[in-house]
């Protein structure tokens, strides 16, 4: 089953609205991004791109890591860039509002692109990776973390007990991501992990998803108001998944990848 297509305008608007609340609920996003940062390749880049930079949390860390580099914070959501500019201003940095599938950057112009939990919102992976391959200099790297299809399977299962509509974002499997790579990009490292979050109440999870702006963004989702009975049915179905310790689980399937542009590319 091919993942649902994301509506880019909705994605941008949703994350823009969530800019001021994002950092307060984004512990998972920080943990994953920090794990990705630990895998940074040995490079002395002149230019670094933080792709899907959000509130600028990792742009700040990349600038600390590469103080001599010019940093470009690039995000689809105008509101996120505005927040980053106000709260985490970059020294010798640039803010770009753009789509990862159509980068406004010159060919062979960047040595390092870092992206944590952003490319799962892309719809056309061959196009995304072609763009990455185009803008990287030969020998340059793309280090990323993204989400796999098992993400929030508990939430999906609970909704499936109630109706047949798409309520939960659907992400791309690892093999499809790898198949989308162009010849010019070599896969140097691939890692997968499940991160299990635990909640006392379901509302904590749903509030968190709303707070980071990552609620359902599939095209063709259910537009009718979700009736009270269905909400009760959904909650009851999720309650069935309570763990032995009394907590409600929410699983995130995370993929980490390191791609390098071939020298003869």
* CA dist., res. 65 & res. 190, Å (int): 22
Helix (H) or strand (E) holding 37: helix 27-37
Task: Say which residues have a Cβ less than 8 Å from residue 207's Cβ, sequence separation at least 6.
Answer: 25
Domain that holds residue 96: 8-151+170-196+252-261
Instruction: State the CATH number of the domain containing residue 26.
Output: 3.40.50.150
Percent of the chain with pLDDT over 70: 91
> What is the chain's length?
265
Instruction: Please state, rounded to an integer, the average pLDDT across all residues of the chain.
Output: 88
Looking at residue 23, its pLDDT comes to 66
* CA dist., res. 65 & res. 23, Å (int): 21
* CA dist., res. 146 & res. 160, Å (int): 24
Residue 222 lies in a domain: no
DSSP state of 218: B
Residue 40 lies in a domain: yes
Residue 223 lies in a domain: no
pLDDT digits (tens, 9 = 90+) for 184-242: 999 999 999 999 999 999 988 888 888 776 655 554 444 444 578 888 888 999 999 99
* CA dist., res. 216 & res. 11, Å (int): 9
Residue 82 lies in a domain: yes
pLDDT digits (tens, 9 = 90+) for 135-191: 999 999 999 999 999 999 998 899 888 877 777 778 999 999 999 999 999 999 999
Looking at residue 12, its pLDDT comes to 79
pTM of the model as a whole: 0.89
**Could you give the C-alpha distances from 260 to 82, 94, 183, in angstroms and in order?**
31, 24, 11
Q: Rounded mean pLDDT of 76-95?
A: 92
The sign of the torsion formed by the CA atoms of 100, 105, 108, 109 equals negative
Pair 259, 185: CB distance under 8 Å: yes
| Count of the separate structural domains present in the chain | 1
Residue 226 lies in a domain: no
β-bridge pairing 185-199 and 110-116? unpaired
Tokens representing 95 are 């803010």
């Amino acid at each position: 089953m091919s993942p649902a297509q994301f509506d880019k305008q909705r994605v941008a608007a949703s994350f823009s609205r969530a800019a001021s609340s994002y950092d307060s609920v984004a512990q998972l996003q920080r943990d994953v991004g920090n794990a990705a940062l630990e895998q940074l390749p040995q490079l002395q880049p002149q230019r670094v791109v933080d792709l899907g930079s959000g509130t600028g949390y990792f742009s700040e860390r990349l600038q600390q890591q590469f103080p001599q580099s010019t940093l470009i914070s690039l995000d689809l959501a105008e509101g996120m860039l505005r927040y980053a500019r106000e709260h985490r201003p970059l020294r010798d940095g640039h803010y770009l509002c753009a789509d990862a599938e159509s980068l406004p950057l010159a060919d062979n112009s960047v040595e390092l692109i870092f992206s944590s939990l952003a490319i799962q919102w892309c719809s056309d992976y061959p196009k995304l990776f072609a763009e990455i391959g185009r803008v990287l200099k030969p020998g340059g790297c793309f280090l990323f973390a993204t989400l796999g299809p098992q993400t929030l399977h508990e939430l999906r299962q609970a909704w499936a007990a109630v109706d047949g509509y798409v309520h939960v974002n659907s992400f791309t499997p690892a093999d499809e991501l790898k198949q989308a790579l162009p010849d010019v990009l070599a896969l140097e490292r691939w890692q997968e992990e499940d991160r299990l979050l635990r909640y006392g109440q379901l509302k904590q999870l749903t509030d968190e998803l709303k707070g980071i702006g990552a609620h359902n963004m599939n095209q063709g989702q259910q537009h009718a108001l979700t009736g009270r009975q269905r909400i009760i049915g959904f909650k009851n179905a999720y309650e069935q998944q309570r763990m032995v310790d009394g907590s409600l689980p929410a699983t995130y399937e995370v993929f980490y990848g390191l791609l390098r542009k071939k020298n003869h590319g």
